[in-house]
Structure 1
Amino acid sequence: MAERVLEVTGLRAGYGPAEVLFGVDLHLARGEVAALMGRNGAGKSTTLKAIMGLLPPRAGSVRFAGREIAGLPPYRIARLGLGYVPEDRRIFTDLTVAENLAVGRRPGRSSWTPERLFEVFPNLAEMRHRRAAAMSGGEQQMLTIARTLMGNPEAVLLDEPSEGLAPVIVEQMAEAVLRMKAEGIAVLVSEQSLDFAAAVADRALVLEKGAVRWEGDVATLEADEGVRRAYLTL
Structure 2
Amino acid sequence: MYVPVSLLFFFIGTALFVYYKTQPGLLPETVTGDQVFPYFIVNGLPAGFTGLLIAAIFAAGMSTVSTSINSSATVVLTDFFNVTSHSEADEKRKMNILHATSVILGALGVGVGLAMMSVKSALDAWWSMAAIFSGGMLGLFFLGYIARGIKGSYAFVGVICGVLLIAWMSLSRQTVFHNYLTIVLGTLVIFTVGMLLAIAGSRLKKGN
- The structure carrying a bigger helix percent of its residues is 2
Question: TM tier, shorter chain?
Answer: under 0.3
- The structure carrying a bigger strand percent of its residues is 1
TM-score by length of 2: 0.26
- Greater gyration radius: 2
TM-score by length of 1: 0.24
